[in-house]
């Protein structure tokens, strides 16, 4: 059964499956709302309206994440856990805490690839290929930075970058609670 779907279809579903699922939830909610409206059933209307709103909200967030995702064929593995971005390769790896970040950039490399550059106030700079496995998790992590523009993030991934582009600047330690 593993060969049932074509590789292109699997690739498309892995990227756009979440927005599609949210759209189906919203459509189900709309249908339930319409059924409740036709039967004068306020409970069915309420359930339908709730599902529609939840599906639309989840769909918008999933759509933004799907736009951010790039082809995962690059080296390394990205993991985002509890506001810490880790990047691992066969040569080693490093991590950056979001609270310590001072700047987020995207740069071209000598080849045709691009790198996310995560600078921090104290510690090494982390370089992550845009096409690294798991790099799609970075959208939610970067969205947590104060004042970051999500449209700028999405545009940076898909625009041809021939020079360094600064996406976000911060002071570091932006959420320190003491």
User: Does residue 157 contact residue 68 with C-beta atoms inside 8 Å?
Assistant: yes
98 and 143, same domain (yes or no): yes
Of the residues 33, 68, 103, the one at which a domain ends: 68
| CA atoms of 42 and 147, how far apart (whole Å) | 41
Q: Can you give the pTM of this predicted structure?
A: 0.68
Give the model's confidence band at 158: pLDDT under 50 very low, under 70 low, under 90 confident, else very high: confident
Q: How far is CA 102 from CA 134, 157, 169, in A?
A: 22, 20, 6
pLDDT given at position 172: 58
Give the pLDDT confidence of 96-145 residue by residue, as tens digits.
999 889 999 999 887 767 889 999 888 889 999 888 888 888 988 998 89
pLDDT given at position 112: 60
- For the chain, the average pLDDT equals 85
**Does 2 score more than 80 pLDDT?**
no
| CA atoms of 102 and 11, how far apart (whole Å) | 34
Give the pLDDT confidence of 45-76 residue by residue, as tens digits.
999 999 999 999 999 888 887 877 766 667 88
**Does 44 score more than 80 pLDDT?**
yes
64 and 88, same domain (yes or no): no
Q: How far is CA 132 from CA 7, 17, 69, 76, 106, in A?
A: 19, 20, 10, 5, 14
Number of domains composing the chain: 2
61 and 141, same domain (yes or no): no
46 and 108, same domain (yes or no): no
22 and 91, same domain (yes or no): no
User: Does residue 121 contact residue 173 with C-beta atoms inside 8 Å?
Assistant: yes
Is residue 178 one of the residues assigned to a domain?
no
**Domain carrying residue 156:** 77-169
Q: How far is CA 158 from CA 3, 53, 114, in A?
A: 31, 30, 10
Is residue 174 one of the residues assigned to a domain?
no
């Amino acid at each position: 059964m593993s060969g049932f779907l074509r590789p292109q279809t699997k690739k498309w579903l892995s990227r756009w499956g979440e927005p599609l699922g949210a759209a189906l939830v919203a459509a189900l909610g709309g249908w339930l709302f319409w059924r409740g409206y036709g039967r004068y059933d306020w409970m069915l209307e309420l359930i339908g309206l709730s599902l529609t709103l939840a599906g639309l909200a989840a769909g918008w967030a999933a759509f933004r994440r799907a736009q951010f995702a790039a082809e995962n064929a690059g080296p390394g593995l990205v993991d985002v856990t509890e506001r810490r971005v880790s990047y691992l390769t066969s040569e080693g790896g490093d991590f950056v805490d979001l609270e310590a970040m001072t700047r987020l950039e995207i740069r071209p490399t000598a080849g045709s690839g691009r790198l996310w550059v995560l600078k921090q106030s104290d510690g090494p700079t982390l370089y992550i290929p845009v096409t690294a496995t798991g790099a799609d998790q970075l959208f939610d992590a970067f969205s947590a930075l104060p004042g970051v523009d999500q449209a700028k993030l999405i545009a940076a991934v898909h625009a041809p970058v021939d020079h360094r582009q600064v996406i976000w600047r911060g002071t570091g330690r932006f959420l320190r609670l003491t």
